[in-house]
Chain A
Amino acid sequence: MLAGDCGEPVRRAIEHQIRVGEFWGARRFVEVTNVHLMGDIEVMGDAGLGFLDESCRGKARCIRPTTTNARCMDFGWCERFGQGVESVRKEREIIASLQRMEVATVDTCINYQTVYQPHLGEHVAWGDTGTVIYANSVFGARSNFEAGPAALAAALTGRTPAYGFHLDEHRRGTLLVELDAKLDDLADWGALGKIVGEPNQDYFAVPVFVGVTRAPVSDELKHLGASLASYGSMAMFHMPGVTPEARTPKAAFDGRRPRARRRVAGRDLERVYRGNRIEQGGTVVVFSGPQLSLWEMRSLAALFEGRRVHPSMRCFVTTSRQVLAEARRLGAAQALEAAGVGILEGICFYILERLSEIRRENGWVNLVSNSAKLVNTITAHRFNTILRRTAECVEIACSGKVK
């Protein structure tokens, strides 16, 4: 590969992987079975587009099943969001290039709920931090955060440098979290991720949660993981009795003492909600980050039943194309639309192309969401973000009053 026998794109890919591996002290590669890739015009820019085009012309082909993460445009909404003809053309060009490389452009950040579920010990190369922490923690699969070019490299070479979460030594727990709080809403799970992640920002920190009193569902673990990855840059957690790799806290720590411990009580969650200030000005309510599952779509539709989004408000949901097809077949999508909720497919809200301009043009000052991840990731666009529980978000959207 390095000699260029497999073509220039593969040579470049393996060279990139070797350099990254050397940085982290990797001694070998591991074969991967599946790749998940982030690539859209908002994050790639013209330089990334050019790189992709060059790779395509060099006949780059994925040798592992490869999927795409949520992207920056729903072509059905481009005009309304003022996403220009030129940007749309570039985005379509990226999609066409990826498809020529045999990437399945499923455009979802919930691939683990809808597309592919790796098994215990399976090595994958996934991008979008929320997908990685879910793979490592809930499936017991093995992946590092693989950003766009790194994931593409893995797709072309079929391997990735063996460092970080591919190795047993980094999968042990480091931080004990004793739960003494009722986590009733998705926002509570996200708030827990913020409480644990923010003060412990470290890729190699692995929290171990004890004291969970009921079996959490996939969407709850999704919001916890996405939040830990976002606030803490964390890629794995254990929840003995729930996650598969360690059956007991002792096993999770591999017999070692936790480096730190903390207790999370109900008042800690309330402090997160109280910590959000409300600014004067327009408000948008968004359910996104990660995209909603079918179950989230259905429960949200039930909360909006018989209600309308207030004329002073805008409200959006983002989901995957696969989920939306089912949500439409089952009526949940129509129920949300009847309430005035805009449904964006194949995107995540914080990734939207020209989001800063969209915010200004609509006069949005506050962004309210039940996603702790979203209220953190969107901040470069100068939103004042407010985390609220799901039913409270619906109430805000329909009453027009932010509280």
Chain B
Amino acid sequence: MKKRCDVIRVKRAFGPAVEGEAVVSSEGFSPRYDLDRTNGVISKIGHALEGVQLKDKILFTPTAKGGVAAGWAFFDIKAKGFAPRALVFGRTNPVMVQGAVFANLTITEGWIPNALEAVASGDWVRVDPAKKTIEVLRRARR
């Protein structure tokens, strides 16, 4: 069996170092299109994470979808107490970054190796923007 990489390098990063449970999505993310902002659950019908609660999770997602809502939305859901701890994107857009910076929410872009292959939902990970690394601290039981 191929050994899974425990340290992922990211290209860009902002925010405090955080640890948390990974939620890995094969689909892009937008708080406008996908998230019920009254409870922090992915509500879009048919989304790869439909029904999943993002509160305190570390969200891994390949892309950012359009929509400027993230600018205020991350600040809003953080104040309501159900923001994820970090957003880890393959490719992101300025809206996600502006929103994360405004909410002081950890955000990263780019990954080597591909985090969608190196990390699975349930893994316990640490995102360190200063070092530009994501470390898998504990693998989920499968």
Indicate if the CB atoms of B43 and A382 lie closer than 8 Å. Answer: yes
Which residues does chain B contribute within 8 Å of A149, judged by CB atoms?
71-72, 75, 98-99, 102
Choose one: A47, A51, A146; the contact of B68 (CB below 8 Å).
A146
Using a Cβ–Cβ cut-off of 8 Å, how many residues does chain A contribute to the interface with B? 50
Which A residue sits closest to B35, measured CB to CB?
Answer: A380
Choose one: B68, B79, B98, B99; the contact of A46 (CB below 8 Å).
B79
What does the 1/0 interface line of A312-323 toward B look like (CB < 8 Å)? 000000000000
Q: Does A33 contact B (CB under 8 A)?
A: no
Q: Does A301 contact B (CB under 8 A)?
A: no
Indicate if the CB atoms of A45 and B76 lie closer than 8 Å. Answer: yes
Q: Does B67 contact A (CB under 8 A)?
A: yes
Indicate if the CB atoms of B71 and A38 lie closer than 8 Å. Answer: yes
Q: Does B78 contact A (CB under 8 A)?
A: yes
Which residues does chain B contribute within 8 Å of A45, judged by CB atoms?
37, 72, 75-77, 79-80
Q: A149-B98, A149-B99 are in contact. Are A203 and B45 (CB under 8 A)?
A: no
User: At the interface, is chain A mostly helix, strand, loop or mixed?
Assistant: helix
Which B residue sits closest to A143, measured CB to CB?
Answer: B94
> Given the complex of chains A and B, what is the CA–CA distance between A23 and B78 in angstroms?
21
Within 8 A of B (CB), among A349-399: 350, 356, 376-377, 379-382, 384
Q: Does A113 contact B (CB under 8 A)?
A: no
> Given the complex of chains A and B, what is the CA–CA distance between A373 and B18 in angstroms?
35
Q: Does B97 contact A (CB under 8 A)?
A: yes
Choose one: B12, B43, B70, B77; the contact of A380 (CB below 8 Å).
B43
What does the 1/0 interface line of B88-113 toward A look like (CB < 8 Å)? 00011111011101100001010000
Q: Does B69 contact A (CB under 8 A)?
A: yes
Indicate if the CB atoms of B98 and A150 lie closer than 8 Å. Answer: yes
Which residues does chain B contribute within 8 Å of A189, judged by CB atoms?
none
Which residues does chain A contribute within 8 Å of B70, judged by CB atoms?
147
Which residues does chain B contribute within 8 Å of A144, judged by CB atoms?
94
Which A residue sits closest to B13, measured CB to CB?
Answer: A23
Q: Does A339 contact B (CB under 8 A)?
A: no
Which B residue sits closest to A204, measured CB to CB?
Answer: B91
Indicate if the CB atoms of B14 and A19 lie closer than 8 Å. Answer: yes
Indicate if the CB atoms of B68 and A128 lie closer than 8 Å. Answer: yes
Closest Cβ–Cβ distance, residue A139 to chain B (whole Å): 19
**In the complex, how many residue pairs between chain A and chain B have their CB atoms under 8 Å apart?**
151
Which residues does chain A contribute within 8 Å of B102, judged by CB atoms?
16, 149-150
Within 8 A of A (CB), among B30-60: 32-38, 43-45
Indicate if the CB atoms of B14 and A51 lie closer than 8 Å. Answer: no
> Given the complex of chains A and B, what is the CA–CA distance between A148 and B68 in angstroms?
7
Indicate if the CB atoms of B79 and A127 lie closer than 8 Å. Answer: no
Q: Does B139 contact A (CB under 8 A)?
A: no
Which residues does chain B contribute within 8 Å of A38, judged by CB atoms?
68-69, 71-72
Choose one: A44, A147, A377; the contact of B98 (CB below 8 Å).
A147
Indicate if the CB atoms of B63 and A233 lie closer than 8 Å. Answer: yes
Indicate if the CB atoms of B68 and A147 lie closer than 8 Å. Answer: yes
Which A residue sits closest to B108, measured CB to CB?
Answer: A23
Within 8 A of B (CB), among A215-273: 229-235
Which B residue sits closest to A128, measured CB to CB?
Answer: B68
Indicate if the CB atoms of B78 and A147 lie closer than 8 Å. Answer: no
Which B residue sits closest to A22, measured CB to CB?
Answer: B14
Which residues does chain B contribute within 8 Å of A158, judged by CB atoms?
none
Which residues does chain B contribute within 8 Å of A379, judged by CB atoms?
33-34, 44-45
Q: Does A108 contact B (CB under 8 A)?
A: no
Q: Does B64 contact A (CB under 8 A)?
A: yes
Q: Does A190 contact B (CB under 8 A)?
A: no
Indicate if the CB atoms of B75 and A147 lie closer than 8 Å. Answer: no
What does the 1/0 interface line of A105-140 toward B look like (CB < 8 Å)? 000000000000000000000011100000000000
Q: Does A287 contact B (CB under 8 A)?
A: no
Indicate if the CB atoms of A229 and B66 lie closer than 8 Å. Answer: yes
Indicate if the CB atoms of A382 and B76 lie closer than 8 Å. Answer: no
Closest Cβ–Cβ distance, residue A130 to chain B (whole Å): 9
Which B residue sits closest to A234, measured CB to CB?
Answer: B66
Which residues does chain B contribute within 8 Å of A129, judged by CB atoms?
66-68, 95
> Given the complex of chains A and B, what is the CA–CA distance between A66 and B33 in angstroms?
26
Q: Does A75 contact B (CB under 8 A)?
A: no
Which B residue sits closest to A150, measured CB to CB?
Answer: B98
Q: Besides the contacts A48-B75, A48-B76, A231-B66, what 10 more A-B pairs have beta carbons closer than 8 Å?
A: A19-B14, A19-B101, A45-B79, A45-B80, A46-B76, A48-B72, A147-B94, A163-B94, A230-B66, A232-B66
24 residue pairs A–B, Cβ–Cβ below 8 Å: A23-B97, A23-B109, A24-B94, A24-B97, A38-B69, A44-B75, A45-B72, A45-B76, A47-B78, A47-B80, A146-B71, A147-B69, A147-B94, A148-B72, A149-B102, A163-B94, A201-B62, A201-B91, A203-B94, A233-B64, A356-B43, A377-B32, A381-B43, A382-B43
